[in-house]
Amino acid sequence: MSMQVFNLVLFVIEAVIYFAIMAGFLHFRRQLGLGVFLAALGVMHFMETYLAAVFYVELPFGLVSPGSSVFFTGKLMMILLLYLKEDAATVRQPIYGLFLGNLLTVVIAQILQAHPVVTLPGGRPADMGFLNEMGWLMVWGTAILYVDAIAIILLYERLGRILRGHVVWRFCLSGLIMMTFDQAAFFSVLHILFNAPLAVFFGGWYAKLLAVLLYSALFGIYMKIEQIPRLSRSRREISDIFHDLTFRERYHALLATSGVDGLTGAFDRNRLEADAPGLLRNSLSVRDAVSLIIIDADHFKQVNDLFGHLKGDDVLRGLAANLKVSARPGDRLFRFGGEEFVMILPVTDHDGALALSERLRLASHGVLRPDGEGMTVSIGVATAPDDGTSLETLLSAADTRLYQAKKDGRDNVHGRHGRLGGAAVAAS
């Protein structure tokens, strides 16, 4: 076996081991904690940058550094896998952590060089010049990683509109495109700092493309082991994902506090009128059903009359908290007025909205009045586009069905085809 072929075999083995261990950390993140996966990324970042600067081997297609081709490529594909298993808000943690940590390395290296040092017997002096170069190389590498990580996620989502259902191909094509950009950007600084020859660019490029193909094949095998909920095309707008990756959603979160009902913590009616049209448009633009439900606390005036408004407020707070816990992460709860709440259910057809409403109705029984009796609610359900496409038409349809639910004895859900749940169903 020639040296080049032997190096290629080791190259493949390194990629398989890297993917298997890092995917294992990610797979068992609930048991081990996500920090184990993130810390491993950070530790490997120093080694891969060091190897990219000084360690090269010869493969059949040129000079290659395993640090850049195997480990840096693997890290980017792991970040994409982390996004698929979690979300954009989680994925930004390693991006910013690595970048800020490397900036700190450069700052500390500058301060350390001001020390008068003592060489220990038998020791060797620290190569502060190399440490300084490594620091700047790592900063440049993580700056590229920042662009790579955001771009590969957005590219993966964009490809979903063309290659819907072809998850491995999207994973692979995203990696191939981004590693081509990455190699051009990273080689430029290698050439400036270490006078790397052009053969390093082409060898590294071919090696990164090979690494992406290997990782994509391993990803395909991993898919057989675990079904990942986010493998299908995300229903979120790409601009929203970008905002998550760049912390812009924190700015929107600050704005959001201005539209929160002070008593229940739900969004208020002003926020409903401001946000609901956009939520409806987003779902309807991709031909997804979206539902709206109105929830009314039964006999709430009786609670106020018997126990006073302060106790009534406690019951209303408890009901709002119960609704939030029983709803799904993407559902939006608004206090419509008094004891009425409105909930927007994105990507939910009428049957799905009825099922969730029935769950909310049953869960409300766990909210106790001061006399120990469980609360009940009546719910009206409407779904776009069949019941209308505007907030006004959906509110009107849901309100009509809420009225019918209360007329039928309360503690039930009314949808397009009549009543669901409550005593009448049990009696039948």
Of 376, 357, 364, nearest in space to 419 by CA? 357
Least confident residue range of 104-113, 130-139, 155-164, 306-315? 130-139
- Residue written as token pair 């776009």: 384
Q: Containing H/E element for 95?
A: helix 88-112
Q: What percent of the chain has pLDDT over 90?
A: 50
Looking at the DSSP bridge assignments, the partners of residue 378 are: 296
Looking at the DSSP bridge assignments, the partners of residue 297 are: 377
Phi/psi for 417 (5° steps) reads -110, 20
- Judged on CB neighbours under 10 Å (0-12, 13-18, 19+), 317 is middle
Q: What pLDDT does 63 receive?
A: 85
Interatomic CA distance for residues 351 and 343, integer angstroms: 15
29-73 tens-digit pLDDT: 888 999 999 999 888 888 888 888 788 899 998 889 899 899 999
Domains of the chain: 3-114+126-241 (no CATH), 260-427 (3.30.70.270)
Annotate 294-307 with b (16+ C-beta within 10 A) or e (fewer).
bbbbbebeebbeee
Are the C-beta atoms of residues 347 and 288 closer than 8 Å to each other?
yes
97-146 tens-digit pLDDT: 888 888 888 888 888 888 888 877 777 777 777 777 777 778 888 888 88
For residues 204-230, give the mean pLDDT: 86
358-416 tens-digit pLDDT: 999 999 999 999 999 999 999 999 999 999 999 999 999 999 999 999 999 999 999 98
Asked if the model's pLDDT at residue 94 lies above 50, the reply is: yes
Interatomic CA distance for residues 159 and 167, integer angstroms: 9
Interatomic CA distance for residues 228 and 352, integer angstroms: 22
Asked if the model's pLDDT at residue 425 lies above 60, the reply is: no
336-366 tens-digit pLDDT: 989 999 999 999 999 999 999 999 999 999 9
Q: What pLDDT does 230 receive?
A: 47
Q: Give how far the C-alpha of residue 413 lies from the chain's centroid of Cα atoms, to the nearest Å.
A: 33
Interatomic CA distance for residues 18 and 33, integer angstroms: 19
For residues 281-291, give the mean pLDDT: 88
Tokens of 228: 């990942």
Interatomic CA distance for residues 160 and 168, integer angstroms: 11
Q: What pLDDT does 424 receive?
A: 41
Q: What pLDDT does 74 receive?
A: 94
Q: What percent of the chain has pLDDT over 70?
A: 92
Annotate 238-268 with b (16+ C-beta within 10 A) or e (fewer).
eeebbbbbbeebeeeeeeeeebebeebebbb
Asked if the model's pLDDT at residue 96 lies above 70, the reply is: yes
